[in-house]
Chains A and B, each alone.
Chain A
């Protein structure tokens, strides 16, 4: 012991000068430090492109039109009292929910069909079916706009060819709403299809064999094996698509520009209309912030379910 003490005291003054360097070196070598440094670019991106704009939007939404004074929650209150905005909330929900449900059903059906095509022929179909998702939506929506055009509509031409009357695709509110949903479903279904296809491929064949021996018909296999095994992917895909669809801007902007009579506006297109086109940036920010609580509630429940299933199954 005595010897140890002496050694320490003797070494003490000699080791003292480079101590700061050693400590820094040790901190730099810690795993947590390295992990933090490596994650830093991502943290910077999230801070710069998500956190800062979100914080700035919240700040903006509390200002008056000329952005000169703080007015608290007045922008939100004015919006909620506006009939047009209440209609936008309603339309956004109808648009997002019906589009996501249709995309989920069609995507599941397509994925199932693809899954049963032999691997050799599957790739070409998979590639073709992915096209709507790959084409920039602003461009493909222009194509749809031309197909919906009152004078040159190829869809109406087809309808007339089979003896059906022309449809006022973008001119009548009901049809305009349907058109926006149709285009969104057309563009978004491949995403569901490819996610579901991956999920279908991950279900072990032996589970289907076990179910077949247990007495399951094809439908029962789908209900009791396929769907429960895909629940997490379905949940995540629906959540992701709900967020993207709720925030959809380009389809409405190109196809209807919110018309007729602002009846096809969704949050994003209305925020653009109010904030940029009408020059009331704080109120535009308030419109876009309305999406957040709605989606947060949905995300909370979906992700809670996913986590719970992950703990039990994976």
Chain B
């Protein structure tokens, strides 16, 4: 077990294209860190550099306090679970799991003990004699994890391990991975493009975009206090609404002027933070779950009423999504399914201004 440290790590390909542009990251012992971002953001490259499968162009990677830049993967004491599992098709499940230990010349008895222990944790004891071909996707995924667990490495690396599974199995395996981490407590770096996976699994989430880290923090912090427009829009589903607005300073209080003549009051607690931007164009950000129907006896402070007309209504069962177009900006509101909402009919809504965000359109940073 060990901490992992990235110091100004750069990955530059031939022709000067930078996939990773100098990132810093400290991962503590036992921590579960998820790298998340859209495809091409550099998350997989970062993971592969930690694994030693990609060379580092500049900077340092330390595992357990040792610089591993020039250490080959086999000597880094890491284990990796690949997106397509990468099981050896000619070996049985047992041999797949035992292979790493066999190469490291562990005694046969110790290998058997470890493989059986991992098989018990992952509930694959009855599959040990089978070849990977005879396994389902979920079972292969378990074997790939077993291969990592038996090694008892310093660090686990996961490269989009659930992408090839169907939706139901993905949720199940997600829980499984979390359970395994709670049992073995090995430092884990996990790469995914799925923000739900990131939020549910991580102790800390690292949001990457265009080869840089946008924000690092616990899932709830990223959700409630995003640092940039990218993070605000990436975390949460459906995504946060962004509406072009102007911050007006009228009669001693700040107001947000939305298209269509809508004016929303800025809560007093936020006034000081936003004063410098009074009179300027901003992006008003609010999550669909904070734009709801008007509820009787609603005690949330800072609720602002507004009347909007949905054009599309999507009943989801546990909730209904109302899509509203406000002079070019699409807004989604998340309302209770019992509220009668119809396309084309004005709907009284309440915006929870305590949960709002303002974004500087020049810098794309949250103010």
Contact = CB atoms under 8 A, between A and B. Distances in A.
Sorting the interface of chain A by its residue count into under 10, 10 to 19, 20 to 34 or 35 or more gives 20 to 34
B89 A214 contact: no
Given A210-B88, A309-B90, A215 B100 contact: yes
Contacts of B73: 209, 212-213
Contacts, number: 68
B133 interface: yes
Interface of A is mostly: helix
Contact of A212 (B53, B133, B151): B53
B79 to A, nearest CB: 7
Contacts of B52: 212-213
B103 A215 contact: yes
Contacts of A209: 51, 53, 73, 80, 82, 86
B82 A216 contact: no
Contacts of B79: 213
Given A214-B103, A216-B103, A228 B82 contact: no
B100 A312 contact: no
Given A220-B103, A312-B131, A312-B133, A214 B90 contact: no
A313 B74 contact: no
Interface in B89-103: 89-91, 99-100, 103
A110 B181 CA distance: 46
Contacts of B51: 209, 213
A206 to B, nearest CB: 4
A202 B7 CA distance: 37
30 contacts: A204-B86, A206-B82, A206-B84, A207-B88, A209-B51, A209-B53, A209-B80, A209-B82, A210-B82, A210-B87, A211-B88, A211-B99, A213-B51, A213-B52, A213-B73, A213-B78, A213-B100, A214-B99, A214-B147, A214-B151, A216-B74, A216-B103, A224-B99, A225-B88, A228-B88, A228-B90, A229-B90, A231-B90, A312-B133, A313-B90
Given A210-B87, A312-B133, 8 more contacts: A207-B88, A209-B53, A209-B82, A212-B52, A214-B100, A217-B74, A224-B88, A314-B133
Interface of B: 51-53, 72-74, 78-80, 82, 84, 86-91, 99-100, 103-104, 131, 133, 147, 151
